[in-house]
Amino acid sequence: MHQPDIDPHLPDIDPRTPNTDPYPPDIDRRLPEIDLAGFLEVHAKATAEARNNASRTLATWRQEIDPVDPAGLLVPVFARTRRAFVWMSPESSVIAMGSAADFVERGAGRFAGIRTSWERTVQNAVTGGPGPRATPSLVGGFAFAPRPGPLPEALMWVPRILVARDRDGRTTLALSVSVDPGDPVQDDVAGVIAQACGLLSAAGGRPCPSPHLAGTTVTEIPPAAEWKALVARAADQIGRGRFDKAVLARQLRVSSPCPYDVPSVLGSLLGTRSGTTVFAVAADGHAFVGATPERLVGLHAGRARSMSLAASMPRGATPAEDARLRAALLEDDKCRREQQVVTEMLRHAFEQVCREVSVPAEPHVLDLPNLRHLHSRIEGEIADPENTSVLDLVERLHPTPAVGGHPRKGTLDWIAATEPFDRGWYAGPVGWMNADQEGDFAVALRSAHLYEGTATLYAGCGIVAGSDPDVELQETRLKFRPMLDALAVPAYGPDGAGTS
């Protein structure tokens, strides 16, 4: 099995266990039993394939289990592994731990590289079990731009243990191991089953919220005055005809006396960010987490779905004020133009690969707890489903004008030369895909990179003709608020810096 550029610095749970009984004594045997014989049979077939092909081969077992609350797995997952993936949307949930196979790519071809490696892996993989083939198999994401950072530019992996729940509550457990032709370890199967039983037996309630810690400091990067000057520069460039729209991002650096607890942050986001996709990608002590309202693209049963999300306005303090602001957003010419740029780009991209494309004539308003946006759903039937991967769509769409600008290349070049930091995984695609090359990816917004006691938050604004720097500054602060609340950081000073 091809595993490009496996990073030795991404530690995993211990794949071995001295206990050959897959159900250790401290495990409640009333748990749904995993079919050890079936998994061993799959492993034996994968061992034969690995020897015949002289290459590593993936062995995966899937079976349905009793429903489990994914939120109840957050604490035990992060307590057992430093490699974890979390995806919790209104449509599906995925909780994954450990890695059976890594796929790491760099450079402009990172999307195609992951797809090619995954296709080769799937062709040689041995799978079994009564669980659905459509279960997520590969998880992870991509940086905004192909530049080195704390997390790889493209990191996706096959989890050793994956628990997926669909909209109807049906829950599937997927277990995977990678078989080395020179060292096929049969005990590895029992080890994975023991770890899965341990995870499921430890399922509990949602994590406690993060505590507020005295001595936490907050710093805006760049400072407010400098960022407003950048907004004015962007508006000037738009006025000169260099581009139509540019999305400028800011950082908020939060330093805490203690390391951040990822489950607590995710639990807080789950409790307050209804209608969003809460996500986390954790590797080597780094965690990229967030609660994004924006779906980049989903591909299921040959049908692709995306959304045009742009323009922002705060929620009102009273029902009357809220209704007034909602109407104002729909009538605002600047907001309508900003969202229309995104809609037309998505429509054009879909028309390149779809037989028919459905786009509403008018945008709708998406209401979130502290913000609202203009929103349009874009759907289409894939013209060549046999040869179109969800990663093809991700590469075609990313970055949309909602997070980059328009036209794409000129705007991105200007942003790269103008912003005083690298975006890392902010606004990059995060998600999952299955063995049939279908899956779901979101745009990693309302997000933060956590490492020990430092949280780096990100927020951006779409700048078009007529953008007001003061208004755009306030919008970024509203977008920082959900993650600040999840980190238990109160309001900070008007100059953007302070100590809580």
Enzyme catalytic residues = 245, 294
Q: Which CA distances in Å does 403 have to 309, 468, 478?
A: 10, 18, 17
DSSP-derived letter for residue 61 is: E
**CA quadruple 83, 89, 91, 95: dihedral, nearest 10:** 20
Closest CA to 343 of 368, 365, 375: 375
DSSP-derived letter for residue 387 is: G
Q: Which CA distances in Å does 311 have to 291, 333, 371, 464?
A: 18, 10, 10, 10
- Distance between CA atoms of 279 and 284, rounded to whole angstroms? 17
- Distance between CA atoms of 279 and 263, rounded to whole angstroms? 11
- Residue in the block written with tokens 């030795």: 8
What is the CA angle 72-138-51, rounded to 5? 120
- Distance between CA atoms of 370 and 484, rounded to whole angstroms? 13
Q: How many residues does the chain have?
A: 500
User: Dmax over Cα atoms in the chain, in whole Å?
Assistant: 72
User: 269 Cβ partners below 8 Å, 6+ apart?
Assistant: 276, 278, 289, 290, 291, 482, 483, 486
Beta bridge partners of 85: 96, 281
User: 213 Cβ partners below 8 Å, 6+ apart?
Assistant: 256, 257, 258, 488
- Distance between CA atoms of 218 and 257, rounded to whole angstroms? 12
Cis-peptide into 407, omega within 30 deg:
yes
Beta bridge partners of 158: 101
- Distance between CA atoms of 118 and 113, rounded to whole angstroms? 9
Q: Which CA distances in Å does 35 have to 14, 128, 193?
A: 22, 11, 9
Contact 326, 359 (CB under 8 A): no
Contact 309, 454 (CB under 8 A): no
- Distance between CA atoms of 346 and 238, rounded to whole angstroms? 21
Ordered alpha helix ranges (H), 352-429: 390-397, 408-418
The burial of 363, by beta-carbon neighbours within 10 Å (0-12 exposed, 13-18 middle, 19 or more buried), is given as buried
DSSP-derived letter for residue 320 is: H
Rg (CA), the chain: 23
